[in-house]
Structure 1
């Protein structure tokens, strides 16, 4: 197989007739990038390895449906991000770990500060939960994953100005909802 072909050319030419070789080449090109993406999100090498394998199984199951509206790498990155985010969300929801009790003595001020911080965090999580999936995703890509506006624009095939406006509106919405929650 010609390893100098673009991903899209390889998919068009080899997928119908030489599926295994096509999958193998794409896997070898992207396995490390997907693994590092998963590791960045999970902070756990075992989970990152498992997620990487799951992602490639999912991608190869959907490869015939790849419509080339974006590059293969962008499509793969989007699937990787969404898969990891979904798995982490599920893990949080069904977490069975118990919090360790702190045996340190704290002053009244420290405990009040901690309580305020926890309440603020809970309000923020509730507010973010009320956003649309698109609003949550764009905020997470920018502020949790550290993607640049250019990268987000390329990922969603948007203009840079559109990404900036969506970020601005989402931040304003979060701020407004937080203020409402604290006032109520």
Structure 2
């Protein structure tokens, strides 16, 4: 059964079996996103359950303006980003150091930059860049989402998403150069 049919059936009958179909279909994907964002198994498991609670409580609000998977991904992304923001805010309360945003050049940053980073370096670079930058790069390159899908998920315009991706790539490049300086020949 397709997602929309399962959703309509659940909304009409409130049959737990229908929601279980959706749960079984998406639990792995949601957990994978949570673990990639939160970097902690216990947090990811808790987040997955919280996200399914949100999906369950808000299923009647799904307006079919996007695919169900995009709607669920949006809830997942927003939940994890909100968690990371709260965590950062708490950390900042105890820290006097405030980071300044880097002044990025207006030149286009090529996708080649991301693809040239070796896997072990890429993992370290992704750990060092801000969470929102990491997430937008993962959505674009790992999940192969379109600019429109990313815009729908993070609630920004397509041009804002393009700029965010551009800045995230620049930040990744800058971080790689700082972590792995190239020897001068």
Could you tell me the TM-score, scaled by structure 2's length? 0.60
User: Are residues 1:94 and 2:90 paired?
Assistant: yes
Shift of 1:13: 2.5
Helix, strand or coil for the counterpart of 2:140?
coil
Match of 1:64 in 2: 60
Gap change, CA 1:81 and 1:157, over 3 Å in 2: closer
Number of paired residues?
A: 135
Retained in 1: the 8 A contact 2:151–2:161? no
The reply on whether 1:166 has 2:143 as its aligned counterpart is no
Q: Which whole-Å CA distance do the structure 2 matches of 1:92 and 1:137 have between them?
A: 10
Higher relative contact order (CA 8 A, sep 6+): 2
**Native 8 Å contact 2:30 2:48 kept in 1:** yes
Partner of 1:147 in structure 2? Answer: 140
Q: For structure 2, which runs of at least 5 residues remain unmatched after alignment?
A: 103-129, 171-185
What is the rounded CA distance, in whole Å, between the counterparts of 1:92 and 1:26 in structure 2?
32
Structure with larger Rg = 1
For structure 1, the residue ranges without an aligned partner over 5 or more in a row are 100-118, 126-135, 176-184
Distance, in Å, in 2 between the alignment partners of 1:146 and 1:155 is 7
Cα RMSD after superposing both structures: 3.6
